[in-house]
Amino acid sequence: MTHPPLRRLALCALAVVLATAPASGQEVDEPPGYVDGVTNAGTSAAAFLQIGVGARVQAMGNAGTVVADDATALFWNPAAVARMGGTAHVAFDHTDWLADTQLDYVAAVLPVSAGSAVGLSVLSFQMVDESPVRTVGQPEGTGEFYSASDLALGLTYGVALTDRFSAGLTGKYVHERLWNETASSFAVDMGIRYRTKLPGLNLAASISNFGGDLQLDGRDLLRPYDDDPGNASNDQLNVRLDTDAYSLPLYFRFGVGYEQSFGDMHKVVLATDLLHPSDNSEAVNVGAEYTFWDTLSLRGGALALFQEDRTGRFSLGAGVQRRVVGGIRLSADYAYAQWGVLNDTHRFTVSISR
């Protein structure tokens, strides 16, 4: 026999289900203009902040929240710099991106103590460089040239709070330019990293681009305006046009990484990132890496799994690491990524540590 309290609880649960779920075949009224299945893709400014850096992470499907372990980690998770063993790192990254654009990244990490470090990063995105201005009246060009580019400067501090847990914070300045118009804002990145008691298993999370909005302003927005066409003497009043302000692409990442060595010659790394962006649907990035004799690495991954209107597909890459003069470790990495109907991309990264 059912006890009265359990019966009352079951009846309450059934009442809630019946009250909140529409009957079968019943049409649900939607507000005017409602469209189902639309994401926020393309609604943020400074989209270059979502591209990602580092050929190693790119080849592993952009699953970098846990596995990034050189100066490119400043982009993925500022907490990672605290776990670099008190060594200095420098990274140079170049990408031939989509539609003939260029992405360049330079970063350096300097140890403060055995468990803390500071980092400096520069991310540059070049879209148009000195292209001629053409008009209907002057299709061959007006003699003027315009450029369009983006820039992000970051300063990072990371510290190991315990032997297993570290945290990091990045302050960044974001700047966009379109000919004579510019927009600037400040933002922060925050990250944590946890080394679990299970050997080789690490967890991490980060929040990127938490900051203000970007709004273009410049001299080309100052235009003559005639608010009274019937009065010929009133046709050169200067007015300033206002552009809309757009938020930065806020990103939340949660990463799981596992690495296992098989003797001194073989090592395998597996990584997964769960993504929650403010301007798109949720997605999952996965990647794997095999390293032979701590020298040659082969990598592969899949990008943006389960994302609506998915563009990125898969990535492949390789890397070589060697100790050279004076104990300096030199790494050279390459990544290829397939982007569906868009062009494929090629990325090169050189890292130096000591």
Domains, the chain, in order of start with CATH, read 47-131+150-220+237-353 (2.40.160.60)
- Per-residue pLDDT tens over the stretch 10-66: 434 334 333 333 333 334 344 555 455 566 776 799 999 999 999 999 999 999 999
Residue 343 has what pLDDT? 81
> What is the total residue count of the chain?
354
5 pLDDT above the threshold of 60: no
Q: Phi/psi of residue 144, each to 5°?
A: -100, 160
Of 350, 232, 283, the closest CA to residue 61 belongs to 283
Give the pairing of strands 266-277 and 251-262. Answer: antiparallel
For the record, the structure tokens of 63 come out as: 């699953």
Is 257 in contact with 201 (CB distance < 8 Å)?
Answer: yes
Place of tokens 């990325």: 347
Residue 112 has what pLDDT? 93
> Can you tell me the distance from the alpha carbon of 337 to that of 314, in angstroms, rounded to the nearest whole number?
6
> Can you tell me the distance from the alpha carbon of 329 to that of 39, in angstroms, rounded to the nearest whole number?
44
Of 341, 282, 345, 286, the closest CA to residue 311 belongs to 341
What pTM does this model have? 0.84
Strand spans (E) along the chain: 89-96, 102-113, 116-132, 145-160, 165-178, 181-195, 201-211, 213-214, 217-218, 222-225, 237-240, 246-247, 251-262, 266-277, 283-292, 296-305, 314-323, 329-337, 345-353
- Per-residue pLDDT tens over the stretch 227-285: 777 766 666 778 888 899 999 999 999 999 999 999 989 999 999 999 999 999 999 99
Of 288, 308, 307, 309, the closest CA to residue 299 belongs to 288
Question: Which amino acid would we find at residue 92?
Answer: F
Tell me the pLDDT of the chain averaged across its residues: 87
Mean pLDDT of 318-347: 91
Name 139's bridge partners: none
